[in-house]
């Protein structure tokens, strides 16, 4: 017997995961998506599903929550890291450090795979439906609304072999990093800035010059893109019957922007709260909050270590067991958490919840202080 209907706003990984999980439990799920298809926010770029923060492989975790990997999902067991004034370090891992996925509107992307799964379960997706206001119960997965990190990059065809390269250098990516991912003749090169957003073009050129100078590379049919990421902390993700998921909830890896895991898991948890009648806040606070706060502390520390720290990190990764090292640093530690108040103070303007929460507010997202809410 079909159970109640659930409205979902946004067909990103968070919203589509919620829809899939709900549909599998017999709910009628309806997704409102403002674009004409899924994946419009992304650009055919490669991204990495991080596989270090939990002992369970991310693909196993997907199986557990009912998500199939019907999209390009290639394990990468290592790569090369460049840090200033040292030789490139080769990183090797026994388990996949990450799974390479493609994002965007073309076949094989994570977005298309999730869409196909949702449609095959009878989920209704209403494209070209932008909902800025919604009165009543809904799951919101509308993605980032502010820029706490800016990414500028290029996708291209190439004859280079499959590889992953990371560069830690404030002269190329201030307080962030640049990366090159190549798979089967297609590549993505991005620099992620946590400061100096207005100089994005300059940093893009610097990244390009760096890779050209250090690697034998050919770039054909290059397509440039720019995008951003958003993180903040809230005490509750339930506002006026709406459950906030993914980046619309500020769920993001504040350190390096590996937000897909957060998006998918929070979509799953929001669905579970409908299925079990459990409280969404209890679920995400148990499963996501410790890591989210740790990632903010990690960002606070990362911004302080400078080039000497980047060299240390690079050497440490090259010593072996990079996943174990990252897992320790991505998960809760009592002593590290003593730094949380300092990290929150440092990023006060970023982590502040600027939703209005005023009585009878129906905004899917608003920043009343910025006069977006009537």
Ligand X SMILES: Cc1cc2nc3c(=O)[nH]c(=O)nc-3n(C[C@H](O)[C@H](O)[C@H](O)COP(=O)(O)OP(=O)(O)OC[C@H]3O[C@@H](n4cnc5c(N)ncnc54)[C@H](O)[C@@H]3O)c2cc1C
Residue numbers at the binding site for ligand X (CB under 6 A): 9-15, 32-35, 40-41, 45, 47-50, 130-132, 141-143, 151, 190, 227, 229, 246-248, 252, 257-261, 263, 364
Nearest residue to 178 (alpha-carbon basis) of 168, 187, 163, 164:
168
Q: From the CB of 100, what's the least distance to ligand X, in Å?
A: 9
Q: From the CB of 169, what's the least distance to ligand X, in Å?
A: 18
Q: Say how far apart CA 86 and CA 299 lie, in whole Å.
A: 23
Pick the closer one to ligand X by CB: 249 or 313: 249
Pick the closer one to ligand X by CB: 326 or 339: 326
Confirm if 21 and 280 have CB atoms less than 8 A apart: no
Q: From the CB of 228, what's the least distance to ligand X, in Å?
A: 6
How many Å from the N-terminal Cα to the C-terminal Cα in the chain?
41
Pick the closer one to ligand X by CB: 110 or 313: 110
Q: From the CB of 266, what's the least distance to ligand X, in Å?
A: 8
Secondary structure class of 67 (helix, strand, coil):
coil
Pick the closer one to ligand X by CB: 52 or 274: 52
Q: From the CB of 87, what's the least distance to ligand X, in Å?
A: 25
Q: From the CB of 11, what's the least distance to ligand X, in Å?
A: 5
Pick the closer one to ligand X by CB: 90 or 126: 126
Q: Say how far apart CA 90 and CA 179 lie, in whole Å.
A: 14
Pick the closer one to ligand X by CB: 123 or 227: 227
Nearest residue to 185 (alpha-carbon basis) of 226, 217, 227, 214:
217
Residue 180, phi then psi, degrees to nearest 5: -130, 125
Cβ neighbors of 303 (< 8 A, separation 6 or more) are 175, 194
Strands (E), 36-171: 45-50, 74-76, 78-82, 89-92, 98-103, 124-126, 138-140, 149-157, 163-167
Pick the closer one to ligand X by CB: 99 or 339: 99
Residue 329, phi then psi, degrees to nearest 5: -80, -20
Q: From the CB of 33, what's the least distance to ligand X, in Å?
A: 5
Q: Say how far apart CA 308 and CA 197 lie, in whole Å.
A: 24
């Amino acid at each position: 017997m079909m159970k109640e209907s659930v409205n979902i706003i946004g067909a990103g990984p968070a919203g589509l995961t919620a829809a899939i999980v709900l549909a599998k439990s017999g709910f009628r799920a309806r997704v409102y998506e403002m674009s004409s298809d899924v994946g419009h926010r992304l650009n055919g770029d490669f991204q990495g599903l991080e596989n270090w923060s939990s002992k369970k492989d991310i693909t196993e975790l997907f199986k557990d929550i009912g998500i199939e990997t019907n999209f390009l999902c290639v394990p990468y067991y290592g790569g090369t890291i460049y840090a200033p004034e040292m030789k490139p370090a080769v990183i090797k891992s026994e388990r996949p450090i990450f799974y390479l996925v493609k994002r965007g509107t073309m076949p094989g992307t994570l977005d298309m795979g999730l869409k196909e799964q949702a449609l095959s379960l009878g989920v209704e997706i209403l494209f070209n439906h932008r909902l800025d206001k919604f009165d009543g119960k809904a799951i919101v997965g509308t993605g980032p609304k502010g820029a706490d990190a800016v990414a500028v990059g290029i996708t291209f065809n190439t004859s280079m072999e499959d590889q992953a390269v990371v560069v830690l250098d404030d002269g190329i990516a201030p307080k962030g990093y640049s990366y090159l991912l190549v798979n089967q003749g297609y590549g993505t090169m991005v620099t992620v800035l946590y400061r100096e957003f207005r100089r994005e073009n300059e940093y893009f050129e610097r990244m390009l010059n760096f890779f050209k100078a250090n690697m034998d590379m050919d770039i054909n049919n290059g397509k440039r893109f720019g995008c951003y990421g958003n993180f903040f902390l809230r005490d509750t993700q339930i506002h006026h019957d709406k459950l906030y998921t993914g980046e619309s909830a500020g769920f993001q890896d504040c350190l390096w922007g590996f937000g897909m895991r957060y998006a998918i898991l929070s979509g799953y948890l929001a669905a579970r709260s409908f299925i079990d009648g459990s409280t969404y806040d209890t679920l995400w606070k148990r499963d996501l909050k410790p890591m989210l706060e740790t990632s903010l502390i990690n960002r606070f520390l990362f911004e302080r270590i400078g080039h000497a720290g980047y060299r240390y990190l690079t050497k440490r990764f090259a010593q072996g067991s990079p996943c174990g090292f990252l897992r320790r640093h991505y998960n809760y530690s009592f002593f590290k958490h003593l730094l949380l108040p300092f990290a929150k103070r440092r990023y006060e303007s970023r982590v502040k919840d600027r939703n209005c929460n005023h009585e009878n507010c129906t905004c899917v997202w608003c920043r009343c202080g910025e006069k977006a809410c009537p």
